[in-house]
Amino acid sequence: MKKEELVVFPFIRKLVTSSDKVEHPRYDSIADPIQIMEEEHQGAQDVLIKLRKKREDYSNDIDKYGERLLPIIEKISALDNDLVHHMHLENNILFPKAIELERINKLIS
């Protein structure tokens, strides 16, 4: 996440806001760090799949988990939903747009 916040996202912001050619901070193409982030997303997705399976898709069966665990199961389910949404936005919207903006930016020079 540190690399995202300090390197990749600021570079994407520059691509969006600059009308001039934008220099790459540490890599030849934004696709390089994006590929690493997508691999990290896949790892997180694998963990979520295992967790869903183990928790039967976060069933809120009070007899199975007991009343004390239900709020935890609900929070894990909400975290799962938020993480899936986050990964979708980055993988399917932000990253492809950033790669396209970079391609256009390279044509400027």
Per-residue tens of pLDDT for the chain, all 109 residues: 787 888 889 889 988 888 777 877 778 889 999 999 999 999 999 999 999 998 888 877 777 767 888 888 889 999 999 999 999 999 999 999 999 999 888 876 5
Q: Are 56 and 62 in contact (CB under 8 A)?
A: no
Distance CA 70, CA 77 (A): 10
Sequence-distant (6+) residues with CB within 8 A of 58 are: 52, 73, 74, 76, 77, 80
Residue numbers of the domain that contains 96? 2-108
Per-residue confidence (pLDDT) for residue 109, from 0 to 100: 54
Quick one: which of 105, 98, 109 has its CA closest to 34? 98
The total domain count for the chain is 1
Q: What is the pLDDT of residue 82?
A: 97
